[in-house]
Amino acid sequence: MRTPTFTALCLSLALLLPIAPASATLPPEVDGQPVPSLAPMLERVMPAVVNVSSKTRVQVRSPFFDDPFFRRFFDLPDVPQERVQQSLGSGVIVDATRGLVLTNNHVIERADEVTVTLADGRTLNAEIVGRDPDTDVAVLKVPAENLSALALANTDRLRVGDFVVAIGNPFGLGQTVTSGIVSALGRSGLRGLGYQNFIQTDASINPGNSGGALVNLRGELIGINTAIFSPSGGNVGIGFAIPANMARNVMNQLLAFGEVKRGSLGVQAQDLDARLSRALGLEEGRGAVVTQVVPDSPADRAGLKPGDVITKIADKPIRNADELANSEGLLPINQRLELGYIRDGEARTATLTLVATSAQQLQGGKLDERLEGARFGELSQREKQAGLKGVKVLAVESGSTAERNGLAAGDVIFGVNRREIGGLTELSASLSRQPRQILFSLYRGRRAYYLPIE
């Protein structure tokens, strides 16, 4: 088999790449043929990709501080010392006029101080405009002085096989460029991450690339580099980026509301496997089996019942419970959509409107007078994927009955009277019988407690 010459390779690459505009500088020639180069595009793009550095102050208490002899003998102050943790990542300027920078939430999470270093060497203090842990998107703001920004592409038009370039700050080395193709679209099911609709690419993404740019050959932003799949911790050619359309939607909501409003059908669901299919008298297939329906929720008003198998939502097939939860979090709220499901072996459809998850809350006083002043809500998708089950205490009014009984905002109640609960519906059902004593099993921080409510 003949080995292709370097000139032949250059000619084949030239056929694949778009013709450079007339204003671009022609690359050097080899044997009279121009060598394809991404340099003209990168010269425009790289000034918009920045390095992001965050500092977090952590209190560190030496075991000697707990010994009164050591404190007195060495005249140690009775205050814990501070240690500063630093994190390095990347970001992308997407609005030069307002100084807006997109990055990953995990790059700046819990940061006390965030700085952005531009390609020209300037270091700017950044303000955290907002962040969304469930999509791992954060928005920063820097002084808008002589900035370059990237235009966001419409990623609905992205195709597997499109050429892409990843730009970021791997291992703190400084701006680095790698290239590849779109390997897959709509990837989900990655553990530890929230709502997922990732672009998969074989362009090298390494630690420090997080928050950096994935661009097409026109220099448009198509994704925010976020994660890699790697048995060893290094790049193996499987990287994931948040699509620009999702990042744009999250950014717009953070700018408008300070948070991301997501919709909910109002159901609990589990995967439809072979055993469950037989138990329900269904042909083996895929879908999400409804196990509970929240009263007065969109699903309840649309007539869904436990045992129904959801197979499609807004023309997207639903193969399991994770895909259903993912679709709920990514679809726009307050818009009518069609849902496909199976009941008693018969395919049916329902039309409903997703409502904001925040609308699905329960006031403690309506559940039991001993919980007056507490407000309960569902766990976030990220918390559920981390393995948590139950109901979150969203708020507790100062001086209320719930506060006197020991409830605190942030508690996660996973059991009532030694029975596990999975959500608001089960909490409501457990308390509907008005038990003489309520014994909550809950997480507070990283510890589990029993809390009697009297």
The tokens for 416 are: 């009532």
Q: How far apart are CA 146 and CA 135, in angstroms?
A: 30
315 is catalytic: no
**Residue 13, Cα to own-chain centre: how many angstroms?**
37
Identify the DSSP state of 379.
Answer: P
Pairing type for strands 239-243 and 263-264 reads unpaired
Residue 210 designated active-site: yes
Alpha carbons 40 and 317: distance in angstroms, whole number: 41
CA 73 to chain CA centroid, Å, is 50
Helix (H) or strand (E) holding 157: none
Question: Which of 106, 368, 380, 430 is flagged as catalytic?
Answer: 106
DSSP per residue, 411-430:
-EEEEETTEE--SHHHHHHH
Distance CA 239, CA 201 (A): 5
Instruction: Tell which residue, 152, 174, 312, has the closest CA to residue 218.
Output: 152
Amino acid identity of residue 147, one-letter, is L
Exactly one of 95, 132, 136, 308 is catalytic; which is it? 136
296 among known catalytic residues: no
- Which residue of the set 53, 183, 188, 210 is catalytic? 210
Q: 180-218: string of b/e by CB count within 10 Å (b at 16+)?
A: bebbebebbeeeebbbbbbbbbbbbbbbbbbbbbbbbee
Residues with Cβ within 8 Å of residue 310, at least 6 apart in sequence: 267, 269, 287, 288, 289, 290, 304, 318, 324, 339, 340, 341
Active site residues: 106, 136, 210
